[in-house]
C-alpha cells in the first residue's frame, strides 16, 4: 500500500461494508490522541493518512466508528499504540462494539481493518489481552488468525487473562517459543511416574546398603 494514498487502508471500503452489514448510513472513522481519553468529542478528527500515524507513537491513537451525522452514534471503538520499547509490536486495546451491534460480525470485520492499519504502519506483530472466557472476542480474534500465547490468573482481578498475538508478516517466519501445553503435561507426568518407579524398586536397596 502506498504512503501517498489518500485512503491508505481503504477506509471507504470498510465504511461501505459496515453500512451494508448494519443497514445504517454514513459510517465514519474518527481518530484522536489516546492521551485525550477523558476530553470532549471535539478532539476527534476524521481519520486520514496523517492522523492514522498516531498509531506509531507509544501514546497511541483512539478510534471510534460512527454512523449518521452524530458522534454519539458509536458502532465501535478501539485503541492502537506502539508497545513501549519494541517498535515491532502494535498493542490493540479497548476493543468494544456497542451492544445493539454485537454478534453481527463487526469485531471480525474491524479486526481485518486493524490488521491492515498495523501493517501499513510498519508493524510485524499485533498484541492484545483478553479475559479467557470472553467467547465473542475469542471467536473474532481466531477468525482473523490470532493465536493465544499465554494464560495467567490475574492476581488483581481474579480473572484468567489470555495474551494473544497476530503475525502480520508470515515471510519473517516468527514462531512460538512455547511447547504445546499437552507436551509439557506429558513430560511432567512421565517424570512423576519415573520418579515413583525408581523410588518403589530401588529404595529398599538403599536401605540395605546403609
Ligand atoms: C468482544 C466484542 C468486541 C465482539 O464484538 P462482535 O462484533 O459482537 O463480534 P463478532 O460479531 O465479530 O463475533 C462474535 C461471535 O461470537 C459469538 N458469540 C457471542 N456470544 C457467544 C456465546 N456465549 N457462545 C458462543 N458464541 C458466542 C457470536 O455469535 C459471533 O459468532 P458468529 O458470527 O459465528 O455468530 C463485543 O462483544 C464487545 O464489545 N464486548 C464488550 C467489550 C469486550 O469484551 N472487549 C474485548 C476486550 S478489550
3-state secondary structure the chain: CCCCCCCCCCHHHHHHHHHHHHCCCCCEEEEEEHHHCCCCHHHCEECCCCHHHHHHCCCCEEEEEECCCCCCCEEEEEEEEEECCEEEEEEEEEEEECHHHCCCCHHHHHHHHHHHHHHHCCCCEEEEEEECCCHHHHHHHHHCCCEEEEEEECCCCCCEEEEEEEECCHHHCCCCCCCCHHHHHHHHHHHHHHHHHHHHHHHHHHHHHC
| CB of residue 136 inside a 6 A radius of ligand 1 | yes
Residues 185 and 93 in one domain: no
What's the number of domains the chain is made of? Answer: 2
| CB of residue 135 inside a 6 A radius of ligand 1 | yes
| CB of residue 133 inside a 6 A radius of ligand 1 | no
Residues 132 and 169 in one domain: yes
pLDDT for res 62: 94
Residues 166 and 206 in one domain: no
| CB of residue 140 inside a 6 A radius of ligand 1 | yes
Render each residue's pLDDT in the chain as its tens digit; 210 residues. Answer: 445 678 899 999 999 999 999 999 999 999 998 876 566 555 889 999 999 999 999 989 999 999 998 878 999 999 999 999 999 999 999 999 999 999 999 999 999 999 999 999 999 999 999 999 999 999 999 999 999 999 999 999 999 999 999 999 988 888 888 876 544 434 444 555 665 666 667 666 655 544
Q: How far apart are CA 72 and CA 22, in angstroms?
A: 16
Residues 35 and 133 in one domain: yes
Give kind and range of the element (H or E) at residue 70.
none
Query: Could you identify the atom of ligand 1 that is nearest to the CA of residue 128?
Result: 48
Q: Is 65 exposed, middle or buried (0-12, 13-18, 19+ CB in 10 A)?
A: buried
What backbone phi and psi angles, to 5 degrees, belong to 191? -60, -45
Residues 183 and 172 in one domain: no
| CB of residue 104 inside a 6 A radius of ligand 1 | yes
Residues 198 and 163 in one domain: no
Residue-number span of the structural domain to which 202 is assigned: 179-210
pLDDT for res 150: 95
Residues 77 and 140 in one domain: yes
Residues 167 and 183 in one domain: no
Q: How far apart are CA 202 and CA 199, in angstroms?
A: 6
For residue 51, the CA-to-ligand 1 centroid distance in Å is 29
Residues 140 and 187 in one domain: no
Residues 92 and 196 in one domain: no
CATH number, position 42: 3.40.630.30
Q: Tell me the pTM.
A: 0.84
Q: Is residue 195 part of a domain?
A: yes
Residues 62 and 158 in one domain: yes
Residues 93 and 23 in one domain: yes
Q: Is residue 141 part of a domain?
A: yes
Amino acid at each position: 500500500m502506498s504512503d501517498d494514498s489518500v485512503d491508505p487502508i481503504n477506509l471507504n471500503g470498510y465504511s461501505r461494508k459496515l453500512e451494508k452489514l448494519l443497514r445504517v448510513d454514513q459510517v465514519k472513522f474518527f481518530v484522536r490522541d489516546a492521551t485525550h481519553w477523558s476530553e470532549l468529542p471535539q478532539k476527534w478528527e476524521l481519520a486520514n493518512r496523517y492522523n492514522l500515524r498516531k498509531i506509531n507513537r507509544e501514546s497511541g491513537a483512539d478510534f471510534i466508528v460512527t454512523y449518521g451525522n452524530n458522534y454519539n452514534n458509536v458502532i465501535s471503538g478501539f485503541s492502537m499504540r506502539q508497545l513501549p520499547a519494541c517498535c515491532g509490536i502494535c498493542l490493540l486495546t479497548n476493543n468494544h462494539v456497542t451492544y445493539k451491534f454485537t454478534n453481527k460480525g463487526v469485531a471480525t470485520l474491524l479486526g481485518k481493518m486493524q490488521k491492515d492499519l498495523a501493517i501499513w504502519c510498519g508493524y510485524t506483530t499485533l498484541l492484545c489481552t483478553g479475559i479467557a472466557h470472553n467467547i465473542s472476542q475469542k471467536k473474532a480474534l481466531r477468525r482473523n488468525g490470532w493465536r493465544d500465547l499465554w494464560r495467567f490468573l490475574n492476581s488483581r482481578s481474579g480473572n484468567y487473562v489470555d495474551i494473544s498475538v497476530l503475525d502480520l508478516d508470515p515471510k519473517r517466519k516468527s514462531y512460538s517459543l512455547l511447547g504445546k501445553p499437552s507436551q509439557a503435561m506429558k513430560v511432567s507426568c512421565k517424570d512423576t511416574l519415573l520418579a515413583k518407579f525408581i523410588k518403589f524398586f530401588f529404595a529398599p536397596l538403599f536401605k540395605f546398603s546403609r
